[in-house]
Amino acid sequence: MSRTSTQQDLWEAPPDMLHFETARLAKGYRHIAGLDEAGRGPLAGPVVAAAVILPPGERYPGIKDSKQLRPAQREKAFDLIREKALAFSIAEVSHEEIDALNILVASRKAMERAVRGLAPVPGFLLIDGIVPLETEIPQQCIKKGDQRSQSVAAASILAKVTRDRLMEAFHRRYPQYNFKQNKGYGTREHMEALRTHGACPIHRRTFRGVKEVLTAETRSPVPDLRPLDRTP
C-alpha cells in the first residue's frame, strides 16, 4: 500500500536549519548573515528587508519561516531574535521607490540597505530566493531559504513583524482600507475599498489592481493629512 504525500511528510526528517551556516563556518567564514524580505506582493506600503547574524552553532526552535508562525509566535520570536542576535538590521524601501524601480529591484535594494546596516560586517550572506545582491561580500542564494536556514528564517521574522506593524500604523491613518487586517494585499475587501475610495498615498501606482483604479477615477486621491503614528 503506497503512502500518500501527507503520510510521506510524516516520515521525512525536518531540515537541518544550521546546515548552510555550518558549511560556511567550516570554510572559515565568520559572522554569517541571513537575509529575507517581506512585502513584495501587496498593493500598498513599503517592502521591508532584514539581515541577522545569530551566534554560531546556537539553535532556536522557535525561529522558523515566518509564514509558519502565528502572529503571537512571530512577536515572541521577534523579541528573541533581537535579544540573541550578534547583530541585526532592518531596512525599508518606500512605495514611491517601488513604483520608480519595480518591486524586484526594490526588494534587492532593501536587502542591500539591511546588509550595510550590520555591525560587525558579515563575512558571508545567506539570501532567501534566487537573486544575488550587488555586494563584494560572498553570498549564497537559497530557494525557500526561510524554511532551510535559521539565519534566513530569523530575517524573515524581523521583516514580517516590522512590516505588519507599519501597515497597522497606516491603518490608523487610512482605516477605510483595513490595512490592519490585509497588510496591503489585494483581498476582496481591499479591492472594493479601492473602487469605492480610490487610491491613497501609500498605494503602489504601478501595480495591477491599483493603476486601473487610478486610470478610471476622477476624484482626487485620499489625502495624506496626519503624520504616521508608528506606536504598536
What's the mean pLDDT when you consider all of the chain?
91
Dist CA 197 CA 204 (whole Å) = 15
Whether pTM exceeds 0.85 = yes
Q: Give the pLDDT mean for 127-155.
A: 97
Model pLDDT, residue 3:
40
> What integer pLDDT is reported at residue 32 of this predicted model?
98
Question: Side by side, which strands form the sheet with 32-38?
Answer: 87-93, 47-53, 32-38, 124-128, 139-142
Strand 32-38 versus strand 124-128 pairing type: parallel
> For 166-180, how does the pLDDT look when each residue is reduced to its tens digit (9 = 90+)?
999 999 999 999 999
Alpha helices, DSSP H, located in 41-134: 71-84, 95-101, 103-116
pLDDT reported for residue 6 = 40
The answer, yes or no, to whether residue 88 has pLDDT greater than 70, is: yes
Task: Classify 77 as helix, strand or coil.
Answer: helix
pLDDT at position 2: 40
- Average pLDDT rounded to a whole number, residues 84-101: 98
Q: How far apart are alpha carbons 92 and 152 in whole angstroms?
A: 17
